[in-house]
Amino acid sequence: MRHVRDRRGGSGLNAGMDIPTAPPPQSTMPSVMPPFLIARPAQQTAPLVFASPHSGQNYSPEFQRSARLDANGLRRSEDSFVDELFGLAPSYGAPLIAATFPRAYCDPNREAWELDPAMFDDPLPAWVNTTSARVGAGLGTIARVVASGETIYRGKLRFSDAAERIHTCWEPYHLGLSALIDATRQQFGACLLIDCHSMPGPGCSGRSAVPDAPDFVLGDAHGTTCSARVTRRVEAVLTGFGYRVRRNDPYAGGYVTRHYGRPREHVHALQIEIARSLYMNEARFERAASFAAVRQHLGALAADLAASARELLAG
């Protein structure tokens, strides 16, 4: 996919972004923003790529009209502000890609065609994956429910609706992410992908409070998607800030981590889940007073990885 520099200025993730030269077809897909944005350093100096697939907030009016949930209900699947939390990564020589479309609309952390046949008026093609555990839970590529379990839609969809979302959201996002990974590996000989997510805090959306609940969960699919040295280094940096860190429980890594994390091919992938209670008010979808401190800590993590990634990935 060819890109041009967005010269509109401003601050935050939108500043200095690359945007697709050809906008996606006009449809129920969010029509104002491109499907992803990339914040690039002036020069990439580290074999690092950061990704935020679930922080998109571009809810189109058409999508909202099709939903039985209000705006806040739809946002329960969203990793709110995660792109901003990792927004300092380009300052340390690493690009950051972020989806602009909401996870509730199309989920790029799934296979392209994980679909629930019960959601559709017409039959699905035989090649569609209708039997995965994620589909069974209502959380396929086109989700049936939000993360807290409430049903999204008033009525049934058409398969053409799902295909359009996949072609205009899922595919461009993965083309953009793949291009960053390939370019990084070509330049440095290896690439470390940090896939950035957030998780509901204890007591939110019906979750019971758990003693010693983790602040961060690191997912490397039980040691298969990245070097153990990477996981240990990230764990050490975060625990050094006083955070409680757990590995692979309950999040061992989703589609992105498992699909791109191929250490034998010199691509390592680590998923990071952040407890939302650390940095936001989950009920009001607002940044908390602690937001700036968490962002600075994650900036320090990016700086540390930028300095150590070549050594961590060696061999």
Residues of the chain below pLDDT 50? 1-31, 205-208
Whole-number pLDDT of residue 212: 84
Whole-number pLDDT of residue 204: 53
- Domains of the chain, CATH where assigned: 3-313 (3.40.630.40)
Locate 300 and state its tokens. 């320090």
- Dihedrals φ, ψ of 185, to 5°? -65, -40
Contacts for 73 with CB less than 8 Å, ≥ 6 apart: 67, 146, 150
* pTM to 2 decimal places: 0.88
Query: CA angle 280-247-106, nearest 5°?
Result: 55
